[in-house]
Amino acid sequence: MKNRFLLLSVLLLTALLFVSCSQTSELPSGGETGSTDTTADGTTDAAVDQFAEVRRSGEEWILVGLKAYEDGSEPEDLKDFFSESSNLTYLTLYDHFFTYNMEKSVPVAEALFRFIVDEHGADALLDSDKRIEYKNEFLESLGLQPQYIQTPEVEYLLASMDFSSSSEYKYIIKFDRATYYFKDFSLGSPTQYHMFLYCNTVGLHEMIEYLKKNELDAGLDTEREFNFYMTLDGSTVSRTSFPDGNMYINDFYSALHEAMHAMGIRDNGNIWLSEGICSYFGEMLGFNDLIAASHIQMLTLAKEGYFDERAAAGEEYSLGYKTLYEMYSARGGLLDNVDNFDLRLYSDIFSAVVSDLDDATTVGEIYESSSQKEYEGIGGELTYAEAKSLVLYLADVYGIDKVLDAYRTQDITAAFGKDYEGLKVDWHSYIAQLMA
């Protein structure tokens, strides 16, 4: 489970989620239209189906376009449609986009299919390396200047998705062992979820690879299926159901945190340790760039005065973000890009700021609200930010392998030579020195 500092950051992340989509419609039946082929001796074989490979592609937009092409349907003139820059996302043409909006998606698929075949031939439809180039050529053919902007890495991953739907989950998107369940896209369009899907899926594989490479995966089920149910119900709490390992995600940041829980970090006797470990791997090692990007967004807003008026009126969260920016920048923290963002510095400062908030939610309180029973273990008085900062400190001083040993044995004193209270004293001294 994971508590968030400010729901506003979830809403503002929408501005960061800039990508595209795909769609599903009725599968067209394959036609028999083909061309003739001349053999080496000059004789003519039976008609050869130029779309034989295309029919086997399984890509929805290609099959939709093929049906219209073989039916002899003339594609619509989409110049006015793509003159509105917001409609450029419909060029993405991933399967689930058809389910989201078939009325807009089908004409785009038919027109792009016809353009690529006419200009580059049937085989070009399957050339994924040039798809972005072809989409921009298509826009140019309409006399339009705006470009379809997408990175090849995102394009390749999202084009590899397996898409299906059910009566309960309209959008079921699967990549290898990671499956995402959406009931709807009510908080925005599918395009606003694509960067999350990309960052989380790639980050999940990177996190698992890191655990294995560094021999930190003992006792963790890294080979399991990861089922992410995108609840997004506004509660700001994400959680993992330990009996089945399903993860219920309420924001764009906690999916990898919950994935660590699902792999086996679930003992709550020392809840600060379990939650801190999940935050360490799921948030702090850079496997999900959206986390750093969201922090940069919020600090940049503070830098530009977005919180000034509300902070002056005494609103606690606005004061918090102003303070975060001032402390982070004063200690040399950069905001220019994700790679240069100092997650460790930000997390330690965030921990210090959150600890001063009167209504800061603790890990124990979240446990009690989700499990409906009183928390009686150790460390429940810390916030998530504090638990993360404490584990970061211990990983620096003792090594993350020692931190994991402490979790597995639940014997804090044997692992570190000090009990929990003693470790807290050391960590508080470290934070005080940092903030001085």
281, 211 Cβ separation under 8 angstroms: yes
57, 122 Cβ separation under 8 angstroms: no
Q: Same domain, yes or no, for 133 and 260?
A: no
Task: In whole angstroms, give the CA distance from residue 359 to residue 354.
Answer: 9
User: Could you give the count of Cα atoms lying within 13 Å of 241 in the half-sphere of its Cβ?
Assistant: 10
Domain of 207, in residue numbers:
2-9+166-435
pLDDT of residue 415: 96
**Residue 38 has what DSSP assignment?**
B
User: Could you give the count of Cα atoms lying within 13 Å of 4 in the half-sphere of its Cβ?
Assistant: 24
pTM: 0.84
Q: 175 in helix, strand or coil?
A: strand
Domain boundary among 121, 149, 177: 149
Q: Same domain, yes or no, for 130 and 212?
A: no
Residue with tokens 């639940």: 410
Task: In whole angstroms, give the CA distance from residue 235 to residue 257.
Answer: 17
Q: Has residue 249 been placed in a domain? A: yes
pLDDT of residue 112: 98
Task: In whole angstroms, give the CA distance from residue 372 to residue 350.
Answer: 28
Residue 74: count of CB within 10 angstroms of its CB? 9
Signed CA dihedral, 414, 418, 419, 420: sign only? negative
Q: Same domain, yes or no, for 138 and 191?
A: no
Q: Has residue 15 been placed in a domain? A: no
Q: Same domain, yes or no, for 128 and 219?
A: no
Burial of 392 (0-12, 13-18, 19+ CB in 10 A): buried
Residue 341: count of CB within 10 angstroms of its CB? 22
The continuous run of DSSP H or E covering 171 comes out as strand 171-175
Q: Has residue 159 been placed in a domain? A: no
Task: In whole angstroms, give the CA distance from residue 398 to residue 332.
Answer: 26
End-to-end CA distance of the chain: 32
Q: Same domain, yes or no, for 215 and 279?
A: yes
Q: Same domain, yes or no, for 207 and 297?
A: yes
Q: Same domain, yes or no, for 196 and 279?
A: yes
Q: With CA atoms as reference, report the closest residue to 48 among 29, 65, 34.
A: 34
Residue 223: count of CB within 10 angstroms of its CB? 9
Q: With CA atoms as reference, report the closest residue to 80 among 99, 102, 98, 107.
A: 107
Total domains present in the chain: 2
Q: Same domain, yes or no, for 47 and 174?
A: no
pLDDT of residue 47: 53
Q: Has residue 158 been placed in a domain? A: no
Q: Same domain, yes or no, for 171 and 313?
A: yes
Residue with tokens 């501005």: 15
Q: 35 in helix, strand or coil?
A: strand
Bridge partners of 162, per DSSP, are 174
Q: Has residue 161 been placed in a domain? A: no
Q: Same domain, yes or no, for 143 and 171?
A: no
Domain boundary among 101, 119, 149: 149
pLDDT in tens, the chain (436 residues): 443 333 333 333 333 333 333 333 333 333 333 444 444 444 444 457 889 999 998 899 999 999 999 999 999 999 999 999 889 989 989 999 999 999 999 999 999 999 999 999 999 999 989 999 999 999 999 999 888 888 889 988 998 899 999 999 999 999 999 999 999 988 888 888 998 999 999 999 999 999 999 999 999 999 999 999 999 887 778 999 988 999 999 988 899 999 999 999 999 999 999 999 999 999 999 999 889 999 999 999 999 999 999 999 999 889 989 999 999 999 999 999 999 999 999 999 999 988 877 678 899 999 998 888 999 999 999 999 999 999 999 999 999 999 999 999 999 999 999 999 999 999 999 999 998 8
Q: 94 in helix, strand or coil?
A: strand
How would you classify the pairing of strands 178-182 and 226-230?
Answer: parallel
Q: Has residue 154 been placed in a domain? A: no
Q: Same domain, yes or no, for 138 and 197?
A: no
Q: Has residue 160 been placed in a domain? A: no
Q: Has residue 115 been placed in a domain? A: yes
Q: Same domain, yes or no, for 43 and 84?
A: yes
65, 110 Cβ separation under 8 angstroms: yes
